Amino acid sequence: MNRIRHPFYLLPYTRSHHSSEGITELLAEVEAAIARGKPILFQGATEGRYFCSGFDLATLALLPEKELRRAFADFFRLGRVVFTAPVPVAVLAKGHAIGIGATLLLAADQALIAARAKLRFPETMLGLGLFADMAGVIGHRSTGRLAERMLMQAEPLTGMQAVTCGLADSLAEDSPGHPEDLFTGIAPGPSRLAWAQAKLLCRADVLHVPIEHQLDSFFVHWETSLAADMS
């Protein structure tokens, strides 16, 4: 992590899939960044096909239920911490943003994605349950009807489509040459505190379904999906 040379926290992705430990580590990095009070930039560590494609489901399936539940709880907390962070958060996705990657992009204050990259939540096509938080961040940026298309039908959007419908702010191809310039227009004005308060007020009621309730619902589908795979 580069915390010295830039006036922001650079959180580079070095892998497309996340383990349960990886999510916990990333959550800790984000919380540490917020504690330092600097803007956060999520950016792919290398040029590639994926920005982030989410959990490695095959690995998760081997975990005891207690560990599995903790992994998904950390996923919830990560999305919520990014969504309500009192510091500006930007995502620069030059590859596909799937699952966790899509959540980070939608939760950010400034979301940039490559024109041909895909933004998608594939859970329904995998026979898995969905989370109310997913619908919440989509509806916050766009509409409830678009949330239905993306979640109920697992419909992917290209980066160009995501920008057109408001799920992303601009294309990665149009990003400024210096990453710190991404934050120029996010928090204008002399008071960062006033900006953070306004952000919290605007987002206070978006992610309101308790995490435990969402986990209970999800694990019903998780167990059904595993049983179908084993039959």
Residues 185-213 have pLDDT tens digits of 787 777 788 999 999 999 998 999 999 99
Structural element, H or E, at residue 120 = strand 118-120
Name the residue range of residue 146's domain. Answer: 9-179+188-192+197-227
Residue 7: what pLDDT? 44
- Round the CA-based radius of gyration of the chain to a whole number and report it: 17
Q: Is residue 1 part of a domain?
A: no
In a domain, 141, yes or no: yes
Higher pLDDT, 183 or 93: 93
Answer yes or no: is 4 within a domain: no
**DSSP tag of 125:** G
For the chain, the domain total comes to: 1
Q: How confident is the model at residue 3 (pLDDT cuts 50, 70, 90)?
A: very low
Q: Which of 9-23, 31-45, 62-76, 191-205 has the lowest mean pLDDT?
A: 9-23
| In a domain? residue 2 | no
Cβ-based burial of 210 (10 A; exposed 0-12, middle 13-18, buried ≥19): exposed
pLDDT computed for residue 159 by the predictor: 95
Domain assignment present for residue 61? The answer is yes
Q: Which two tokens stand for residue 188?
A: 């204008």
Going by C-alpha positions, the residue among 79, 81, 84 that lies closest to residue 199 is 84
pLDDT at 180: 75
Of the pLDDT bands very low, low, confident and very high (cuts 50, 70, 90), residue 227 is: low
Assess if residue 161 is contained within a domain: yes
Q: Residue 27 above 70 pLDDT? A: yes
| Predicted pLDDT at 20 | 65
Kindly report the CATH number assigned to the domain that includes residue 59: 3.90.226.10
Q: Is residue 118 part of a domain?
A: yes
pLDDT at residue number 225: 63
In the predicted model, what is the mean pLDDT of the chain?
A: 82
pLDDT at res. 13: 45
Asked whether the predicted pLDDT for residue 98 surpasses 60, the reply is yes
